């Protein structure tokens, strides 16, 4: 008997499907199964719990004697939520119950985003300072070159004028 603890939030959609096949059905996923479940997840027609439940209830899973702890309450609740009026009331009730968790996760997410923004701003500030320093060095170098060119040009003009004066004498 296989006992599986499957955290459906841990994997992305494709990895989730492949891991469900491995864990529940004891085999690699076939292309048609992957495409079917990917389409259902990505269009919102099925939730990950629905897929786990459906695979778990399959004949193939029964042959493997697969057990998944904690699947029944979640799967039954998800199935009941599909019933037109009752489903709406259940989703509303579940959403109200989950609200504190959602608020807490939102606060954590806001703090993480704020930290990332702060780190990005610091990196941008440091890069701007580096650019400003490099710009100042280049401007000094350009000014030095201009001064040297002016000096050289002034010397050339003086030399030309002195040669003109010698020819006129």
pLDDT one-digit tens code per residue, 3-35 = 554 555 577 889 999 989 988 898 999 999 999
Q: Are strands 66-68 and 2-4 parallel, antiparallel or unpaired?
A: parallel
Residue 115: band (very low, low, confident or very high) from pLDDT cuts 50, 70, 90: very high
Q: Is 13 helix (H, G, I), strand (E, B) or coil?
A: helix
pLDDT cut 70: percent of the chain above it: 93
Domain membership flag for residue 62: yes
> Would you mind telling me the total number of residues written for the chain in this entry?
169
Average per-residue pLDDT for the chain? 89
| pLDDT of 161 above 80 | yes
Domain that holds residue 96: 2-116
Residue identified by tokens 């048609």 is 32
For the segment 69-104, what is each residue's pLDDT rounded down to a tens digit? 888 888 888 888 889 999 899 989 989 999 999 999
> Has residue 24 been placed in a domain?
yes
Query: For the chain, how many structural domains are there in total?
Result: 1
Q: What is the pLDDT of residue 67?
A: 81
Domain-located, residue 83: yes
Examine residue 131 and state whether it is found in any structural domain, yes or no: no
């Amino acid at each position: 008997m296989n006992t599986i603890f499957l955290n459906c939030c841990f994997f992305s959609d494709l990895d989730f499907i492949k891991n469900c096949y491995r864990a529940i059905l004891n085999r690699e996923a076939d292309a048609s199964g992957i495409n079917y479940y990917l389409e259902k997840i990505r269009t919102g027609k099925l939730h990950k719990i629905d897929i786990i439940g459906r695979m778990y209830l399959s004949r193939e899973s029964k042959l493997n004697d697969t057990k998944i702890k904690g699947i029944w309450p979640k799967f039954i609740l998800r199935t009941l939520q599909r019933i037109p009026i009752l489903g709406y009331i259940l989703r509303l009730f579940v959403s109200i119950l989950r609200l504190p968790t959602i608020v807490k996760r939102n606060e954590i997410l806001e703090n993480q985003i704020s930290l990332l923004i702060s780190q990005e701003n610091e990196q941008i500030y440091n890069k701007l300072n580096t650019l400003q320093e490099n710009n100042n060095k280049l401007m000094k170098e350009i000014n030095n070159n201009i001064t040297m060119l002016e000096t050289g040009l002034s010397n050339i003009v003086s030399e030309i004028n002195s040669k003109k004066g010698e020819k006129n004498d």
